Amino acid sequence: MGNKKNVYLFIKGKADGDAGMKNLLGGKGANLAEMANLNISVPAGFTITTEVCTYFMNSGGQYPEGLEKEVEEAMQLAGEAMGKTFADPKNPLLISVRSGARMSMPGMMETVLNVGLTSKTMPGLISKNGNERFIWDAYRRLITMYSDVVLEKAAGIEPEEGGGIRELLEKEMEKIKEAAGVKADTALGVEEMKMLCGIYKAKVKEILGVEFPDDPMEQIWGAIGAVFTSWNGKRAVSYRNIEGIPHDWGTAVNVQSMVFGNMGDDSATGVAFTRNPATGDNYFYGEFLLNAQGEDVVAGIRTPQALNEVSKMSGSDALPSLEETMPEQYKELYEIRNNLERHYRDMQDIEFTIENHKLYMLQTRVGKRNGIAAVRMAVDMEHEGLITKEEAIMRVRPDQINEFLLPMLDPKDEEAKQSDKIATGLPAGPGGAVGQIVFTADEAEAWAKTGKKVILVRNETSPEDVHGMHAAEAILTAMGGMTSHAALVARGWGKCCIVGCGALNIDVHKKQIEVNGRVLKEGDYISLNGSKGTVYTGKLDLFLVDPAKNEIFQEIMKWADDTRKLGVRTNADTPEDAAQARRFGAQGIGLCRTEHMFFGPDRILPMREMILAETKEDREKALAKLLPFQRDDFKGILRAMKGLPVTIRTLDPPLHEFLPHEPVNQGEVATELGITVKELRRKVAALHEFNPMLGHRGCRLGIVYPEITAMQARAILEAACALKKEGVEIYPEIMIPLIGTKAEFENQKAVVIKTADEVFKQEGISVDYLVGTMIEIPRAAITADKIAETAQFFSFGTNDLTQMTFGYSRDDIGSFLPEYIEKKILPVDPFQSLDQEGVGFLIGHAVEKGRAANPNLKVGICGEHGGDPASIEFCHSVNMDYVSCSPYRVPVARFAAAQSVLKEKG
């Protein structure tokens, strides 16, 4: 490491680094260098590289050889640029020492300001600056920060709650204020400040056992070491775990000349965005405080003033703007804003300070924004000629597209109400919701009928809860994973939903939830962020945008459609869902799950008769009652999707799911069916399976009871013939679930073909249709070449394929998944984002072998992964024809499919 450059200087007009060097200089350091190169006024300074941090970590706190000399030289040059000298008694330079990682980790690491103030340098500063109180106040701030960051945290001291040195010092400040009879810090005079500094130093000695350092060099090395050490502080480590930031990156340290926004009324400090980050509107947006330091703006102690007239609209309208107060500096800042946007070609988040009328830029970085703002900025910037259409598409994360479709919790309100957060679960259905807690589906429906907005809270949901789920604004469950019933249903409707929220102890009888010591009752308000999985008590603000009326949204989606190669279909079981998906741009149905159609009140009885039938004749009688319902269902769906392909799957779930298991319900059902409760119980028991997911379901039902498949095929094809007679264009595709062998498929295909022939003869016309299969059992994927000899399409059922490849029950993964993620055994929930290495291997193999055996084979995916951007990228890479997902994920999928093409291009 001896010859390596460890220190990179930045001085207005000239820097050693540039914006491309984020890995080495961190984001802040690289951008300070870039601004210096752009001849923008940055306070001179230097960056110590991230490599020094990793060296420091790996060597137990040692620095590489030569670093000390490099720092001294850089300090000399930075001082010269500012016309000052570090540690000089007459004209001393003061510096700040800040962290700066490759990716921003806001507030996770430490900062020390005003380094260089000592008993020797202070008199020089006072005589030069003339403001004695100001210098003592700066010294007080240095003692507070330094003792907290360097002498306590970096030294590994973990004080008890409330016993940290910062708090103890602040208490001393309170005492002095009380004695002086004042409320604000600013009301304390010079003598009080001096006294306070003395008390502070004595307290530091008493509590931490060390003298506060009076040597500028000791101060600076203490601060540098503490900032490096803070990379491995608790907060930073857990933030990296959450954000997936590698622990071996390290942070850079930026040492920079201090400039003061609190030198009087000709000084100020502020933060701004080159465009509005909440709406994307193209105007300079920000706020500032006169006579204040940067931390005062963020801390929210004083109400900041707006930067200009347009920023005034969003809040602090009464006070004069910077444009009015300091027009010259505002003009200069505005030019820098334009300059930075042109240069970076993206919205920047900037920090500035004005010291005695002189403007300095302290930071610029790409600004964070919500989805709506991201799309607006991307489209506007393309119109302005700043970026290409491709860049515009890549500027928006696919999940941000969702924000156009759903109500959302207002991010500002969420930030303000962090203390109301009570629990976190899996983000199963996106968007936000606010409502009153109810514990049963019936109550949800009843309350909703009276106009109340409710959130249905349950341990888990079942098909019997669907009416209440529908009536509720959102669903919250304590159990279940991303493919649980609640998650599937909610996602299908685009409804906000959080599942697997293990911290909730729900007592349905007492109608209350106990969560981390708090008790919530029926009727209490909660707010959910289904995109993040966070639950708050009380009411947060919601807002909504209409995508159909949003030209900007339509425009970027058109660019995405022109770019993508993958088709996007939807998983829908009702004409309403199909129509909704079509409005969102779906190009057909990739999965219509017919089992959901048997739960209606008029269908469940004949369905149960069918299941309980002892003879084929009895079964056929019951099926004949179901046929007209099914035919109507299919007519509705095929009509809603006219002109587009519709894949309908034959019955999949085990039959016992349709029977009542609770004794109370059994009495009722037995009466309806005209049998005794005992008889019903015997039959329910006979259908009991130890492992229903691996039991008598999917094509196994149709093979044992071919009349079920025949009835469904008949219903589909009779509906198709009737529509064709009306002149409606239809493209039915019949799909056989859960096959593992070619023989299983051929058996079911024969039933479909025989039925089709009968129907066409009876109707006097024929329709084109396809027969294909789900690939959701590993054996089917492995032997795909054989199956493709007779199947016309494959649709990957990656919910089951994941379940069976890993051997994890898709409904029970919640019991161990959090530990698996925490221990890094799994990177993510494999039911949410496709396991490309394992499950993906089977898919890749099946597509290749299947197409080799049958070049016309259509290939798609209809598991939950079909709406997940990373999984969609994989589907693109193995050349699938389409992905299919719930209606509300269709736009996201269209967008992710376009990004897949652009990422492949590189």
Positions marked catalytic: 485, 862
For the bound state, the minimum distance from the C-beta of residue 655 to ligand PEP, rounded and expressed in Å, comes to 15
For the bound state, the minimum distance from the C-beta of residue 485 to ligand PEP, rounded and expressed in Å, comes to 10
Distance separating alpha carbons of residues 149 and 98, to the nearest angstrom: 11
For ligand PEP (CB under 6 A), the number of binding residues is 10
| SS3 category, 101 | strand
Q: Does 430 bind Mg ion (CB under 5 A)?
A: no
x/- track of binding to Mg ion for residues 779-798 (CB under 5 A): ------------------x-
x/- track of binding to ligand PEP for residues 626-655 (CB under 6 A): --------------------------x---
Q: Does 593 bind ligand PEP (CB under 6 A)?
A: yes
Residue type, 816: F
Q: Does 445 bind Mg ion (CB under 5 A)?
A: no
**Nearest CA to 46 among 17, 24, 13?**
17
306 contacts which partner out of Mg ion, ligand PEP, none, CB within 5 to 8 A by kind?
Answer: none
For the bound state, the minimum distance from the C-beta of residue 834 to ligand PEP, rounded and expressed in Å, comes to 11
Q: Does 570 bind ligand PEP (CB under 6 A)?
A: no
Distance separating alpha carbons of residues 408 and 423, to the nearest angstrom: 18
Question: Hey, which residues between 850 and 869 contact ligand PEP (CB under 6 A)?
Answer: 862-863
For the bound state, the minimum distance from the C-beta of residue 596 to ligand PEP, rounded and expressed in Å, comes to 10
Q: Does 776 bind ligand PEP (CB under 6 A)?
A: yes
The residue within the footprint of ligand PEP, chosen from 311, 798, 805, 854 (CB under 6 A), is 798
Over the Cα atoms of the chain, what is R_g?
Answer: 33
Task: Check: CB of residue 29 under 8 Å from CB of residue 364.
Answer: no
Q: Does 829 bind Mg ion (CB under 5 A)?
A: no
User: In 152-278, where does DSSP find H-type helix?
Assistant: 165-180, 190-208, 216-230, 234-243
Q: Does 797 bind ligand PEP (CB under 6 A)?
A: yes
839 contacts which partner out of ligand PEP, Mg ion, none, CB within 5 to 8 A by kind?
Answer: none
Distance separating alpha carbons of residues 277 and 366, to the nearest angstrom: 11
**Piece of the chain touching ligand PEP by CB under 6 A; list 38-46, 188-196, 499-507, 795-803:** 795-803
According to DSSP, the residues that pair with 85 across neighbouring strands are: 92
Distance separating alpha carbons of residues 786 and 775, to the nearest angstrom: 13
For the bound state, the minimum distance from the C-beta of residue 36 to ligand PEP, rounded and expressed in Å, comes to 54
Q: Does 800 bind Mg ion (CB under 5 A)?
A: yes
Strands 251-257, 285-290: pairing is unpaired
State which residue, 883 or 897, has the beta carbon closest to ligand PEP: 883
Q: Does 800 bind ligand PEP (CB under 6 A)?
A: yes
Task: Check: CB of residue 388 under 8 Å from CB of residue 469.
Answer: no
Q: In what order do the strands lie in the sheet with 285-290?
A: 305-306, 285-290, 268-273, 348-355, 358-366
585 contacts which partner out of ligand PEP, Mg ion, none, CB within 5 to 8 A by kind?
Answer: none
| Three-state secondary structure string covering 280-298 | CCCCCEEEEEECCCHHHHH
State which residue, 257 or 570, has the beta carbon closest to ligand PEP: 570
Dihedral pair phi/psi, residue 298, rounded to 5°: -70, -40
State which residue, 626 or 775, has the beta carbon closest to ligand PEP: 775
For the bound state, the minimum distance from the C-beta of residue 737 to ligand PEP, rounded and expressed in Å, comes to 7
Question: Hey, which residues between 725 and 784 contact Mg ion (CB under 5 A)?
Answer: 776
DSSP assignment of 459-524, as one string? S---GGGHHHHHHSSEEEESS--TTSHHHHHHHHHT-EEEE--TTEEEETTTTEEEETTEEEETT-
Q: Does 577 bind Mg ion (CB under 5 A)?
A: no
**Piece of the chain touching ligand PEP by CB under 6 A; list 21-29, 725-733, 798-806, 821-829:** 798-806
For the bound state, the minimum distance from the C-beta of residue 750 to Mg ion, rounded and expressed in Å, comes to 22
State which residue, 152 or 776, has the beta carbon closest to Mg ion: 776
Distance separating alpha carbons of residues 272 and 827, to the nearest angstrom: 36
For the bound state, the minimum distance from the C-beta of residue 332 to ligand PEP, rounded and expressed in Å, comes to 59
User: Which helix (DSSP H) or strand (DSSP E) does residue 80 occupy?
Assistant: helix 67-82
For the bound state, the minimum distance from the C-beta of residue 800 to ligand PEP, rounded and expressed in Å, comes to 3
Distance separating alpha carbons of residues 530 and 474, to the nearest angstrom: 9
593 contacts which partner out of Mg ion, ligand PEP, none, CB within 5 to 8 A by kind?
Answer: ligand PEP
State which residue, 687 or 801, has the beta carbon closest to Mg ion: 801
Q: Does 542 bind ligand PEP (CB under 6 A)?
A: no
State which residue, 323 or 800, has the beta carbon closest to ligand PEP: 800
State which residue, 657 or 848, has the beta carbon closest to ligand PEP: 657
State which residue, 563 or 886, has the beta carbon closest to ligand PEP: 886
376 contacts which partner out of ligand PEP, Mg ion, none, CB within 5 to 8 A by kind?
Answer: none
Dihedral pair phi/psi, residue 189, rounded to 5°: -90, 180
* Long-range contacts, stretch 755-763, CB < 8 angstroms, 24+ apart: 755/709, 755/710, 755/713, 755/714, 755/717, 756/713, 756/717, 758/714, 759/713, 759/714, 759/717, 759/718, 759/721, 760/717, 760/721, 763/718, 763/721, 763/722, 763/725
Q: Summarize the chain as % helix, strand, coil (round to 5).
A: 50, 15, 35
| Residues ≥6 apart with Cβ < 8 Å to 73 | 7
Question: Hey, which residues between 647 and 706 contact ligand PEP (CB under 6 A)?
Answer: 652
Residue type, 46: F
Tokens of 33: 């260098």
For the bound state, the minimum distance from the C-beta of residue 51 to ligand PEP, rounded and expressed in Å, comes to 46
70 contacts which partner out of ligand PEP, Mg ion, none, CB within 5 to 8 A by kind?
Answer: none
| Residues ≥6 apart with Cβ < 8 Å to 528 | 409, 432, 433, 434, 455, 474, 476, 496, 497, 498, 534, 535, 536
Q: Does 799 bind ligand PEP (CB under 6 A)?
A: yes
For the bound state, the minimum distance from the C-beta of residue 728 to ligand PEP, rounded and expressed in Å, comes to 27
798 contacts which partner out of ligand PEP, Mg ion, none, CB within 5 to 8 A by kind?
Answer: ligand PEP
State which residue, 94 or 861, has the beta carbon closest to Mg ion: 861
**Piece of the chain touching ligand PEP by CB under 6 A; list 198-206, 360-368, 665-673, 791-799:** 791-799
Task: Check: CB of residue 723 under 8 Å from CB of residue 639.
Answer: yes
| Residues ≥6 apart with Cβ < 8 Å to 750 | none
For the bound state, the minimum distance from the C-beta of residue 738 to ligand PEP, rounded and expressed in Å, comes to 8
Distance separating alpha carbons of residues 239 and 246, to the nearest angstrom: 11
Task: Check: CB of residue 44 under 8 Å from CB of residue 10.
Answer: yes
Distance separating alpha carbons of residues 357 and 266, to the nearest angstrom: 5
State which residue, 239 or 599, has the beta carbon closest to ligand PEP: 599
The residue within the footprint of ligand PEP, chosen from 520, 591, 739, 857 (CB under 6 A), is 591
Residue 148 DSSP code: I
500 contacts which partner out of ligand PEP, Mg ion, none, CB within 5 to 8 A by kind?
Answer: none
State which residue, 110 or 652, has the beta carbon closest to ligand PEP: 652
Distance separating alpha carbons of residues 230 and 227, to the nearest angstrom: 5
State which residue, 120 or 596, has the beta carbon closest to ligand PEP: 596
State which residue, 733 or 800, has the beta carbon closest to Mg ion: 800
For the bound state, the minimum distance from the C-beta of residue 832 to ligand PEP, rounded and expressed in Å, comes to 13
Q: Does 829 bind ligand PEP (CB under 6 A)?
A: no
Tokens of 848: 């290749």
Tokens of 15: 């820097």
Interface residues with Mg ion (CB under 5 A)?
776, 797, 800
Interface residues with ligand PEP (CB under 6 A)?
591, 593, 652, 776, 797-800, 862-863
